[in-house]
A = this chain, B = another copy of it.
Amino acid sequence: MEILIAEDDEQIANSLRKNFAEDGNPVMIAKDGEEAIHFLKSISFDVILLDWRMPKVSGIEVCRYIRESGSKVPIILLTALSQVKNKVEALNLGADDYVTKPFSFDELAARINAVVRRYQSNTNELIFNDITLDLIGRKVKTPRGEIYLSGKEFDLIKYFILHKGSIMSKEDICKEVWGVNFVPSTNVVEATVKNLRRKIEDNYGKNLIKSIYGEGYLFIVE
């Protein structure tokens, strides 16, 4: 989980970085709001922690900037200001949570999990590496352009990405993609996999769907 921390107090920033690193989460630190906005223009994060008081551009202004740019990324304000009117202002501006210093790292981590969980469980995108499924528009986007998939192919790649990294039996795939009471007497599944493979490969260069002899398919995670 990529985390952006905008915090001018080096001690706090480094302590957070250390804690997150222990949990295996890479952290990027911006020393003021201006730098945070600079990072945000080119990198996408899973959650953003903002100190309120920072040089140049304040956390609350960064928050406003993010929301005005249309992003829904989870934002947590992280500040010494404990007055109700500050909290209300931040939350109304689109922040997802507000934690006052000093705080416990465990609580912060739990709050981050809560907002990220909510964000991801309700998002309309399914992302795998640089392949993004737009679940509502039913489009597949990659840096190399859009992949045009038919309905069944889209359902199939969605199932694959949702179960990436583990072997999926053909029976289970069938149940989910073709419907509970559909028992194929032919090789529809294989045929659809074939077509999907071709389209991914055309766009992606390599194939991501591996066959496991006698067991099913595996969507590869590197």
Cβ contact within 8 Å between B119 and A91: no
A136 at the interface (CB under 8 A from B): yes
Cβ contact within 8 Å between A104 and B118: no
A92 at the interface (CB under 8 A from B): yes
A97 at the interface (CB under 8 A from B): yes
A106 at the interface (CB under 8 A from B): yes
Cβ contact within 8 Å between A114 and B136: no
In the complex formed, the residue of B with least CB distance to A151 is B151
Chain A 100-131 interface 0/1 with B at a Cβ cutoff of 8 Å (1 = within)? 00001011011101110111011110000000
A87 at the interface (CB under 8 A from B): yes
Among B87, B107, B109, the residue within 8 A (CB) of A110 is: B87
A196 at the interface (CB under 8 A from B): no
Residue pairs across A and B with Cβ atoms less than 8 A apart, 14 shown, are A85-B106, A87-B111, A88-B106, A88-B107, A91-B110, A92-B113, A96-B118, A97-B114, A118-B118, A119-B122, A124-B124, A135-B136, A136-B136, A138-B138
A95 at the interface (CB under 8 A from B): yes
A113 to B93: give the CA distance in the assembly, Å.
11
Interface positions, chain A 74-90, Cβ under 8 Å from B, are 84-85, 87-88
Q: Chain A contact residues (Cβ within 8 angstroms of B): what range?
A: 20 to 34
New contact pairs (17) apart from A72-B118, A84-B107, A91-B114, CB-CB < 8 Å = A72-B121, A84-B106, A85-B106, A88-B106, A88-B107, A91-B110, A96-B114, A96-B118, A115-B118, A118-B118, A122-B122, A122-B124, A124-B124, A124-B135, A124-B136, A138-B138, A151-B151
Closest Cβ of chain B to A19, distance in Å, is: 14
Cβ contact within 8 Å between B91 and A113: yes
User: What residues of chain B lie closer than 8 Å to A135, measured between beta carbons?
Assistant: 124, 136
* Closest 6 A/B residue pairs (Cβ): A122-B122, A91-B110, A88-B110, A91-B114, A84-B104, A135-B136
A123 to B135: give the CA distance in the assembly, Å.
12
User: What residues of chain B lie closer than 8 Å to A124, measured between beta carbons?
Assistant: 122, 124, 135-136
A88 to B109: give the CA distance in the assembly, Å.
8
User: What residues of chain B lie closer than 8 Å to A91, measured between beta carbons?
Assistant: 110-111, 113-114
